[in-house]
Amino acid sequence: MILAFDLYGTLFSTQIPGVPREVMDSWRRKQLEYTWRSTLMGEWRDFDEITRMSLRYVREKFNLQMGDEVLEEWRRLKPFPDVEALQNLEAELWVLTNGVERTVNQILRDAGLIHLFKGVFSAERVREYKPSTKLYKTFQGEVGEGILISSNPFDVAGAKRSGMKAVFVRRGEFTLADFMGLEPDSTVDSLWEIQRKLIG
Amino acid sequence: MILAFDLYGTLFSTQIPGVPREVMDSWRRKQLEYTWRSTLMGEWRDFDEITRMSLRYVREKFNLQMGDEVLEEWRRLKPFPDVEALQNLEAELWVLTNGVERTVNQILRDAGLIHLFKGVFSAERVREYKPSTKLYKTFQGEVGEGILISSNPFDVAGAKRSGMKAVFVRRGEFTLADFMGLEPDSTVDSLWEIQRKLIG
């Protein structure tokens, strides 16, 4: 069994200590907007660049003095505590991410998690971001049929639309409407439930 | 000279009387998100459906009792006062919009503006939303070389990326970063400046 985990928001928290929630939400939302716009315009910018561009946006919007050290913090995100559950999963684990492969490998190394994964499959490989069906289909073509595990409704919907199974990890507020009619095969409240739900 | 005007936010205000600003901003943002996600997933939903889906999202998010009558209000948006400036423009005017052609024609008729335009060119025709380059390129292929006039930075960037000229109408807050490096050929504070800037 192949399990493909989303990274940002699913394995790792996208909150940075000291950055106000409102600023962080705006930054994250703009980051996603830029991935979508960049894909639609056929103008590839890697996720590190998208992250810098969206930081520039929030700086201008909120008139912040926040320096580039916050980008360093973004590269030192912390895993959610339930990531521990992955240690005992009897499956082939992958990371399926918008992130830059090198950057994500470094984040996984720093968190002592890299040995858990067979590999990182990045949007870089197809130069289109989630939820482009090209990404999920290429993953399945190259790695094999898998199940996406994500806390992002747009990610779940994209996988479903691409013929991939998907588990939604309920990490915080969400609305059912946000799946756009492409709902997950199952929903869990924590990664601890994965073993029981999927592997039994 | 062909001038292609964006509708929502450029010719018409997307504020609805009685709907709190926070709710309206969230609705509008989600509406755009759904246009992008739908295009990336290759799952076409017309703009009226996208509008309903995003309304459902804000209802669930803010736990609102707001009924479907607000969708009627959305179909009765009001033009900005400076739309009067279009009366005397010596150019061929088009509407280039994400909106459903039928719906947009009705909005223009209701506002007494339909006679100003040679036609409405909708994202429906290519089944991809702004800023997909396919939309701007198809417009130019079928109608001719034109200049986009829009208050939406993602729209300006999409046009520029597609080899179309673009004028940015500064309607409210914006940040330079939001053009993603694809900046307009010129910027105006009101549609009254179009005649002077473009036609002289």
Reported as a single tens digit per residue, the pLDDT across A18-41 is: 899 999 999 999 999 999 999 999
Q: Give dist(CA B177, CA B171) in Å, integer.
A: 16
B40 and B129 in a common domain:
no
Q: How far off is chain A from B34, nearest CA to CA, in Å?
A: 8
Q: Which of B45, B57, B177 sits opposite A56 (nearest CB)?
A: B177
A159 and A64 in a common domain:
no
Reported as a single tens digit per residue, the pLDDT across B80-112 is: 999 999 998 999 999 999 999 999 999 999 999
Last residue of a domain, one of B57, B74, B91: B74
Task: Provide the pLDDT for residue B200.
Answer: 65
Q: How far off is chain B from A159, nearest CA to CA, in Å?
A: 9
Say yes or no: A101 contacts chain B, CB-CB below 8 A: no
Reported as a single tens digit per residue, the pLDDT across B14-54 is: 999 889 999 999 999 999 999 999 999 999 999 999 999 99
Q: Is A136 exposed, middle or buried (0-12, 13-18, 19+ CB in 10 A)?
A: buried
Q: Which of A71, A97, A89, A87 is nearest to A12 (CA)?
A: A97
* CATH code, B51: 1.10.150.240
Task: Provide the pLDDT for residue A101.
Answer: 98
Q: Which two tokens stand for residue A139?
A: 């993953």
Task: Produce one character per residue of B41-78: b if its CB has 16 or more CB atoms within 10 Å, e if not.
Answer: bebebbbeebbbbbbebbbebeeeeeeeebeeebeebe
Q: Picking from A142-146, A149-153, B67-71, B123-127, which range would have the lowest pLDDT averaged per residue?
A: B67-71
A125 and A29 in a common domain:
no
Residues 6 or more apart whose CB falls under 8 angstroms from that of B25 comprise none
Say yes or no: B27 contacts chain A, CB-CB below 8 A: no
Say yes or no: B153 contacts chain A, CB-CB below 8 A: no
Q: How confident is the model at residue B158 (pLDDT cuts 50, 70, 90)?
A: very high
Task: Provide the pLDDT for residue A81.
Answer: 97
A45 and A96 in a common domain:
no
Task: Provide the pLDDT for residue A173.
Answer: 82
Residue type, B82: D
Residue range(s) defining the domain that contains residue A129: 2-12+77-199
Q: Which two tokens stand for residue B12?
A: 């018409």
| CB spacing of A33 vs B37 below 8 angstroms | no
Q: Is the pLDDT of residue A88 over 90?
A: no
Stretch A51-62: mean pLDDT: 94
| CB spacing of B154 vs A37 below 8 angstroms | yes
B155 and B70 in a common domain:
no
Q: Which of B29, B40, B180 sits opposite A34 (nearest CB)?
A: B180
B103 and B34 in a common domain:
no
B6 and B39 in a common domain:
no
* CATH code, A114: 3.40.50.1000
Side-chain-facing half-sphere of A12: CA atoms under 13 Å: 23
| CB spacing of B180 vs A129 below 8 angstroms | no
Q: Give dist(CA A132, CA A81) in Å, integer.
A: 30
With beta carbons less than 8 A apart as the criterion, state whether B41 and B132 touch: no
Q: How confident is the model at residue B152 (pLDDT cuts 50, 70, 90)?
A: very high
Task: Provide the pLDDT for residue A190.
Answer: 96
Q: Which of B39, B57, B154 sits opposite A178 (nearest CB)?
A: B57
Side-chain-facing half-sphere of A165: CA atoms under 13 Å: 12
Strands (E), chain B: 2-5, 92-97, 119-122, 146-150, 165-169, 186-188
A58 and A104 in a common domain:
no
Task: Provide the pLDDT for residue B30.
Answer: 96
Q: Give dist(CA A189, CA B93) in Å, integer.
A: 53
Say yes or no: B161 contacts chain A, CB-CB below 8 A: yes
Q: Give dist(CA B59, CA B74) in Å, integer.
A: 15
| CB spacing of B37 vs A61 below 8 angstroms | no
B44 and B126 in a common domain:
no
Q: Which residues of A touch B36 (CB under 8 A)?
A: 33, 36-37, 40
Catalytic residue, candidates A6, A25, A68, A110: A6
- Determine whether A6 is an active site residue: yes
Task: Provide the pLDDT for residue B165.
Answer: 97
Nearest Cα residue in chain A from B35: A36
Question: What is the ipTM, given to two decimal places?
Answer: 0.96
- Annotate chain A with DSSP letters as a single string: -EEEE-TBTTTB----TTS-HHHHHHHHHHHHHHHHHHHHTT----HHHHHHHHHHHHHHHHT----THHHHHHTT--B-GGGGGGGG--SEEEEEESS-HHHHHHHHHHTT-GGG-SEEEEGGGTT--TT-HHHHHHHHHHT-SEEEEES-HHHHHHHHHTT-EEEEE--S---GGGGTT---SEEESSTHHHIIIII-
A111 and A170 in a common domain:
yes
Task: Provide the pLDDT for residue A200.
Answer: 64
Last residue of a domain, one of B55, B74, B93: B74
Say yes or no: A57 contacts chain B, CB-CB below 8 A: yes
Which of A31, A35, A40, A134 would best serve as a mutation to test chain B binding (most B beta carbons within 10 A)?
A40
B85 and B58 in a common domain:
no
B188 and B91 in a common domain:
yes
Interhelix angle B21-40/A153-161, rounded to 10 degrees, is 30
Maximum distance among all Cα pairs of chain A, rounded to whole angstroms: 51
Reported as a single tens digit per residue, the pLDDT across A96-114 is: 999 999 999 999 999 999 9
Q: Which residues of B touch A29 (CB under 8 A)?
A: 29
Reported as a single tens digit per residue, the pLDDT across A117-166 is: 999 999 999 999 999 999 999 999 999 999 999 999 999 999 999 999 99
Helices (H), B67-150: 69-74, 101-110, 133-142
Q: How many domains does chain A have?
A: 2
Last residue of a domain, one of B37, B59, B74: B74
% of chain B exceeding 70 in pLDDT: 99
